[in-house]
Structures are given as structure tokens and as C-alpha cells.
Amino acid sequence: MQRDATLEYAKKLDEQDALKSYRDEFYLQPDIIYMDGNSLGLLSKRAEQSLLSLLDSWKKYGIDGWTQGEHPWFYFADTLSEMCSPLVGASKEEVIITGSTTSNLHQLIASFYHPNGARTKILADELTFPSDLYAISSQLSLHGYDPEEHMVLVKSRDGDTLNEADIIEAMTDDVALIVLPSVLYRSGQILQIKELTKAAHERNILIGFDLCHSIGSIPHQLDDWEVDFAFWCNYKHLNGGPGAVGGLYVNQKHFGRKPGLAGWFGSDKEKQFDLSIQMTPAPDASAYQIGTPSILSAAPLFGSLEMFAEAGIDRIREKSLKLTDYMTLLIEEELRGYQFTIENPKEHNRRGAHIYLVHEEAARICKALKEYQVIPDFRSPNGIRLAPVALYNSFEDVWKTVQILKEIMKEESYKKFENKRDVIA
């Protein structure tokens, strides 16, 4: 990218942006620059409309909304799954919109973790989001194993990133299952899923990935990569709303496997209301559902996924890389001398959709940014995540964010804040 740190150049990039029309689809607050879409995506007008539409079907049909209206609730999860499947590179039968990140991980571990002989351990990493480790630990305990001994965590060499060679080295004969992130939530590093999956399968180990920080921001080819399973939330880059229903993927080669946690909505739909004592699981990923779908929490996703289908994940990724390239350029040009270090990988094939800045005053700098109406994300102990989102952030947003950050550092206005996180960071 041309090394031009002027506002005029940022505006020129915005004029050339093929996705610029989608910015008008979102509720952007006046004078606020939102750089936290990798924690919670903004509300779009289409997501709002799909929520209101599903709410109206409840008003109009009552219980008959399960089978009547534009989007009958009984099949709504399947509708969303079909819309979502291109984003993970899977068939519609391999995806189901259900549960939450952690409940889906519990379901998948319960279904795929079968300790046998010496193979009793679950391999993860020390940089993954802690909720995944909590789930792994509790599942090991339920099987009667000590998590301190049977949860193996790959160490980071630098505290921010992982080396695939270290992960592969840890794939020893006592590992029964592997659970890794596709993108590290702090540094934004993309793990090489194809390489890791191939290595795991060569060692007869099943492997799954947490896609929370990659779905909706980078393309996936889970089928081509032969990943066994995956799971994710839909409220970050997919803009499904706070607490939106999550999703999971199960490779079709595992169809017919009995779900570890059975529930009636995992039934074959033709037999579900027979209410038989013996469950007949659905023949595909739908079998991994447990309870009745949360229709109103899933509703906004319909409108959001419509936009992803139109914009295309490849074009979204292309713009995302341009945004983060530009932010990197500006940080290097404008913030020289202020003791910031960029800890995310710079290579396109290893960088997700956010910039990870490290500074010893990170917590108070984030508070100062909010006072200047820039919404960042603090990650303990000293990280600032800035996520320019392709569908609603502009290059001018990026330019202004760095200029505001420069002013905060120059004026030392961050010093009036306490250097510790708020209750929610």
C-alpha cells in the first residue's frame, strides 16, 4: 500500500471502496468511531427488520408461527444454517445454528472425546479464549480425569502467537482430541488450519476449531481441509446481536455419530413430534441441537447473512486486509516514539481482522479513546484491539482513529485515568 498518511488519501480509498454502500446499512452513531466489531458487531437495518418480522409472526400467529408465516420457526435454524454454510466452506447439512459458543463446545467434546487406552488427553493452547479451557476442563472432570494432567496446553514462544510446529510436536500418542482457535483473540494470528488438520489426522487424532474471531471476516474451507468439527458465535463479525445464537459444524464423515448431549430438537424432524421414549437423531448436523431454538435471538442473523451473501466473504476479506494494512501504515508513521508495539502478524495469511497494539498504559489509553468517542477494546494486561470492520468502517475512520490516538499520547490526556480495566473490558 502507498505510504500516504494524509486525510485526502484516506478519502480517495473510500471513494474506490466497492463495499462502501453497506456502511449506510448500519446504525452508526454520530461522531462515534466504532472499532470494536470483533467483540460485538453493530446493528444493521436488515437485522432489525428481520427481528421485527419474527416478532410480528409471534404477534400474528401465536403457536402456529412454528409452521406458518414467512419464516416458520420449526425450520428457521435450518434456513440460517444454509445461509451460513458458505462462510465456513461446508454443505448446509453440516452446519446448524444453535446454542452458544461454550454450550456448542460442550456438545462437541461430549460427542467426539472418547478416551481409549493411553489416549486420554485433550490438546489446546495457552492463548485461547479461557471459556474454551473451562469447557475442556469440566469435560475432562466429568470423565474422571484431572485437567491439570490431561489438558495439554501448547506454550507460546513470545506471549502473543503460536508456532504450528510446536502444536504438531504436542500431537503425541496420548492425545485423543484437539481444540484450537482459528484466530487468536488477542493477537489476531490466523492458525494454519489445513496444515494442523492434516498433521492431526496423520496421528489418528480428531481436531476441531473455534471460529469466533474468523467467521464473517476471513474465508474458510472446512470441508476441503477435512476439519472434524467447528463452533462459533454470531455476534462479532456476523453482527447477530448481543447473545446471538451460535453455530457449529460437523463434517459429513461423522454423520450418524450419536450426539453426546441429546435433546429433543436434535431429533429427525419427521419423528420429533412422535414423542417417542427412544430418540431418533437427525441424520446430519441438526442432531447436535439440544433445546428449542431461541427464535428472537436468532432472528437478526437472517438480515445480516443476507448482506454477507451479497457482499461475498472474499470481497470482505480483501477490504479488511486493506483497512488493517492502512492502519498499520498510519501507526508506524504517526505514533513513532510513543512506545507502541504492533503484536499482530503482518503477513496477510497469518493476520485476522484486527490490529493488536501493546502499551504499558493500555487500559487508560482505551479509556481516553472512549472519551474522544473512539470505541476500542482492551485486553489484559496491556493490549489494545482495534478492529476496522469491512462492512461499516471507512478508511477515514482509520485515519481519524490514529490521529486521535496521536493527540492522546502527545497531550498525555490518558494520565487522568486509572490504568486498570473496567468491569467489562
Kindly tell me if the per-residue pLDDT of 392 is higher than 80. yes
pLDDT category, 219, cuts 50, 70, 90? very high
Task: Give the per-residue pLDDT at 424.
Answer: 66
Please report, for residues 8, 248, 393, the alpha-carbon distance to residue 336 in angstroms, rounded to integers and kept in the order given: 21, 43, 24
DSSP annotation of 57: H
Kindly tell me if the per-residue pLDDT of 356 is higher than 70. yes
Task: Give the per-residue pLDDT at 425.
Answer: 66
**Which residue from 163, 175, 166, 230 is spatially nearest to 201, judged by alpha carbons?**
175
> pLDDT per residue over 293-351, tens digit each?
999 999 999 999 999 999 999 999 999 999 999 999 999 999 999 999 999 999 999 99
> pLDDT per residue over 34-60, tens digit each?
999 999 999 999 999 999 999 999 999
Task: Give the per-residue pLDDT at 268.
Answer: 92
- The span from the CA of 236 to the CA of 217, in Å, is 9
Average pLDDT over residues 244-270: 96
C-alpha neighbours within 13 Å on the C-beta side of residue 277: 0
- The span from the CA of 265 to the CA of 352, in Å, is 34
Task: Compute the mean pLDDT over every residue in the chain, rounded to the nearest whole number.
Answer: 96
- Spell out the domain ranges in the chain: 7-30+312-416, 49-310
CATH of 49-310, one of 1.10.760.10, 1.10.240.10, 3.40.50.1820, 3.40.640.10: 3.40.640.10
Kindly tell me if the per-residue pLDDT of 390 is higher than 90. yes
> pLDDT per residue over 121-180, tens digit each?
999 999 999 999 999 999 999 999 999 999 999 999 999 999 999 999 999 999 999 999
Kindly tell me if the per-residue pLDDT of 423 is higher than 80. no
Kindly tell me if the per-residue pLDDT of 3 is higher than 80. no
**Which residue from 330, 328, 112 is spatially nearest to 208, judged by alpha carbons?**
112
> pLDDT per residue over 367-376, tens digit each?
999 999 999 9
Annotated binding site: 101-102, 129-132, 210, 213, 235, 264, 292
Annotated binding site for pyridoxal 5'-phosphate: 101-102, 129-132, 210, 213, 235, 264, 292
Q: Sheet holding 247-250: strands in order across?
A: 95-97, 247-250, 229-232, 206-210, 175-181, 121-125, 151-154
CATH of 7-30+312-416, one of 3.90.1150.10, 3.20.80.10, 3.30.565.10, 3.40.50.720: 3.90.1150.10
Query: CB-based burial of residue 416 (10 Å sphere; 0-12 exposed, 13-18 middle, 19+ buried)?
Result: exposed
**Which residue from 99, 100, 101, 82 is spatially nearest to 91, judged by alpha carbons?**
82
Kindly tell me if the per-residue pLDDT of 1 is higher than 80. no
Do the domains 49-310 and 7-30+312-416 match in fold? no
Average pLDDT over residues 66-94: 97
Kindly tell me if the per-residue pLDDT of 80 is higher than 80. yes
